[in-house]
Amino acid sequence: MPIHVEITSQDRSIYSGDADIVVVPGTLGEMGILPNHSPLLSTLKFGVIRVRSKADEKVFTVAGGIVEVQPDQVTILADSAENVDEIDVTRAEAARKRAEELLQKTIPQDTDTYLSLQAALKRSNLRLDSVRKYRKSHI
């Protein structure tokens, strides 16, 4: 008996389907969620969501959000999420380079700008690392 998974970001639905196990990056650590899991609500950190069904595995990057677990459903409301197979590597590399350059020019006392640039850099690195690790063909 599978568990239904819904992954939604701020601007679109990322994934909807059934899985045998879902692995999410909870704030307090990685969590494996199986069908009939106890109800749970947790925040998510930057990381990777893995949705496994039989021999198939789908991988998504996530940059924060929340996960709600019910015995028959996992609902993920992500600040930002993306299927690893859909990541534009050229765009991610350009975003990383841009964030690195702007961070060098930004004064750390400008807290809001500095933190948003650090988050952009962290997200770009997550996207690129995920492509290298999980994409079957990362040309």
CA distance 24 to 59: 10
20 pLDDT tier (thresholds 50, 70, 90): very high
- Residue 104: give the domain boundaries: 87-134
- Residues 11, 59, single domain; the answer is yes
Q: Give all strands (DSSP E) within the chain, no chain letters.
A: 3-8, 13-19, 21-26, 29-33, 40-53, 56-70, 73-78, 81-83
74 pLDDT tier (thresholds 50, 70, 90): very high
Number of domains forming the structure of the chain: 2
- Residues 97, 77, single domain; the answer is no
Higher pLDDT, 107 or 72: 72
What is the average per-residue pLDDT within 36-48? Answer: 96
Q: pLDDT at position 57, please?
A: 94
- Judged against a pLDDT cut of 90, whether residue 14 lies above it is answered with yes
Asked whether the whole model's pTM tops 0.85, one would answer: yes
CB 53 within 8 A of CB 23: no
Q: What is the pLDDT of residues 95-136, one digit of tens each?
A: 999 999 988 887 777 678 888 888 999 999 999 999 999 887
Main-chain dihedrals φ then ψ at residue 104, nearest 5 degrees: -65, -30
- Residues 65, 103, single domain; the answer is no
- Judged against a pLDDT cut of 80, whether residue 139 lies above it is answered with no
- Residues 68, 130, single domain; the answer is no
Mean of per-residue pLDDT scores for the chain: 92
Q: Let me know if residue 139 belongs to a domain.
A: no
Q: pLDDT at position 137, please?
A: 62
Domain of 96, CATH number, reads 1.20.5
28 pLDDT tier (thresholds 50, 70, 90): very high
- Residues 91, 80, single domain; the answer is no
